[in-house]
Chains A and B, each alone.
Chain A
Amino acid sequence: DAGVIQSPRHEVTEMGQEVTLRCKPISGHNSLFWYRQTMMRGLELLIYFNNNVPIDDSGMPEDRFSAKMPNASFSTLKIQPSEPRDSAVYFCASSFPGLAGGISTDTQYFGPGTRLTVL
């Protein structure tokens, strides 16, 4: 089975440029999450979708960041304009409410990440 797919795997760009990161969740999963990971701040939730609808974007750092999920199999995270402090690894994860012993698990499965460097 294919896991979460992200592209590109690496992106190097110059300050002020637009950056678009892409994610394809696991087929059948109805929740999608975008995270950012840095050494200083660890893994932070930026935004999440349920059934293609944005539920909470309170983790999005600034208006320069936006995310969309036009259908169940595709999501984008866009940064415009990009700044050096946006340099990080961006992960996409997906999940589907599951039950184990009658208890919801909601295990999230992560994609390989996009390493973004803004010069």
Chain B
Amino acid sequence: GQNIDQPTEMTATEGAIVQINCTYQTSGFNGLFWYQQHAGEAPTFLSYNVLDGLEEKGRFSSFLSRSKGYSYLLLKELQMKDSASYLCAVRSFGNSGYSTLTFGKGTMLLVSP
């Protein structure tokens, strides 16, 4: 089975840096995704890691350690519009030979002025 843990809520101030952690236990691991979801909207793709290390994309970076079952999403220069839920999702191959995503319950980030 899959088990994905991430904090339920986090708060931060505009202009600051925040790190959202995700730990997972899974079989057939083949990548980790981060999605952003604003209230009432669909999840949108942010980043993808399959190898260990840091992937940087503008103000957002994502890190993966496969041996530790650990990832984090780093958001720099926070803006009010970054207030959203951030979903960690693990991709794994099932018995069918196809890969699927298992999502964590999301971390609600509130950015205050």
A: residues with CB less than 8 A from B are 31, 33, 42-45, 48, 50, 55-56, 91, 100, 103-113
Tell whether, in the assembled complex, residue B43 and residue A110 are in contact, meaning their CB atoms are under 8 Å apart.
Answer: yes
B64 at the interface (CB under 8 A from A): no
Chain A hits for B30, CB < 8 A? 104
Chain A residues touching B, majority SS: strand
Give a binary string over B24-62; 1 marks a CB under 8 Å from any A CB, 0 the rest.
000000110100000001111100101100000000000
Please give 9 more A-B residue pairs, beta carbons under 8 A apart, in addition to A42-B105, A56-B94, A109-B45: A42-B104, A43-B103, A45-B102, A56-B100, A103-B31, A103-B51, A108-B101, A110-B43, A112-B42
- Given A91-B42, A111-B42, A113-B42, does the pair A56, B33 have CB atoms closer than 8 Å? no
Can you spell out 12 A-B residue pairs with CB atoms less than 8 angstroms apart?
Answer: A33-B101, A42-B105, A43-B106, A50-B98, A56-B96, A56-B98, A103-B51, A104-B30, A104-B99, A107-B33, A109-B45, A112-B41
B: residues with CB less than 8 A from A are 30-31, 33, 41-45, 48, 50-51, 87, 91, 94, 96, 98-106
CB of B31, distance to nearest CB on chain A (Å): 8
